[in-house]
Amino acid sequence: MRLHVGNAVGATPLVEITKLDIPDGIRVFAKLEFLNPGGSIKDRMVKYILDHAERVGALQPGATIVENTSGNTGAAIAMFAAERGYRAILTMPDKVSQEKQNVLRAMGAQTIVCPTAVRPDSPEHYVETARRLHREIPGSFMLNQYDNPLNAEAHFHTTGPEIWEALGGRITAFVSSGSTGGTISGIGGYLRSKNPDIHVVLLDPVGSIYHKYFHEGVVDPREIAAYHVEGVGEDHLAKCMDFSVLTNVIRFNDRNAIQMCHELARKEGLLCGGSSGANIWGCIEVAKALKPPAVIVTVLPDSGAKYVSKIYNADWLAEQRFADGSSATVSMRSPAPSDA
């Protein structure tokens, strides 16, 4: 049997976080998704959607793949496009790190950088730019990661079962940030299908709309603001985000995530991206609200190697003024269908 890049996607290790300030009787585990061949958790979703598109004939040989991305989905697309003979055109907001942009170009993808600080319906927005290119390029294929149910399905059938089996079903809570919603909806949906008492907690950055939408049922444009952590939060409701799976949503800020990145590096030897820092910060916040014994699990979506010019750059850190913001107060509610 010939082995392809796709054969290396998934089956990532799960490690326990032991050196941080975690309450007694609470165990925290993290799945090292940055060990996928494309360097992030997005390899799973991209492979799943491309495999499906090829099976049903939606993606023809030599076609152009167009997608909007914060970098990691783009890296996975560029990797598979290079291997399978497709052209890739990727649009992204200008806050995406230079490392991520360079990786995409190195693998032959065309990148189009769009302004971050524009309205979601602006023709300059990176999502709208990708949609326009998809309409204009004959025979092109767009993954549509924000609204494609296959995004969450990929994690329901792969990441979720891997976590469940690795921990023998002994899981109290799954905690993760999200943007498209695929990771938390898929993993959370699988885990709750096995045990509906599992808490599924979304971490949402200040500047995103998900927190208020979950708690109040409204989208408030005044909530939308710029933040530095990439690949998390959103300025519009992604159809892939299944709020019925969630049992709580708590807020974090850039400082919460970035400080935790440095703690993970120095205390656990894990050099991770900003969303990973947010995820571990959220696990510790949730741990404070749980009665021991309890097991919390999360994912570390990508590597800090993609953010050396930002998160791990002393000059960049000195230039930024992060809002302090008080830590979220977490109240763990019993999972119920009305949590949607």
Tokens at residue 25, please? 């009787």
For residues 289 and 258, what is the distance between their CA atoms, to the nearest angstrom? 22
Tokens at residue 50, please? 């491309």
Catalytic residues: 42
Q: Is 3 helix (H, G, I), strand (E, B) or coil?
A: coil
Q: Are 213 and 248 in contact (CB under 8 A)?
A: no
Buried b (16+ CB within 10 A) or exposed e, 272-296: bbbbbbbbbbbbbbbbebbeeebbb
Indicate if the alpha-carbon torsion angle 168, 170, 172, 175 is positive or negative.
negative
For residues 233 and 65, what is the distance between their CA atoms, to the nearest angstrom? 24
Tokens at residue 249, please? 């949503």
Q: Which residue carries 């490690």 as its tokens?
A: 15
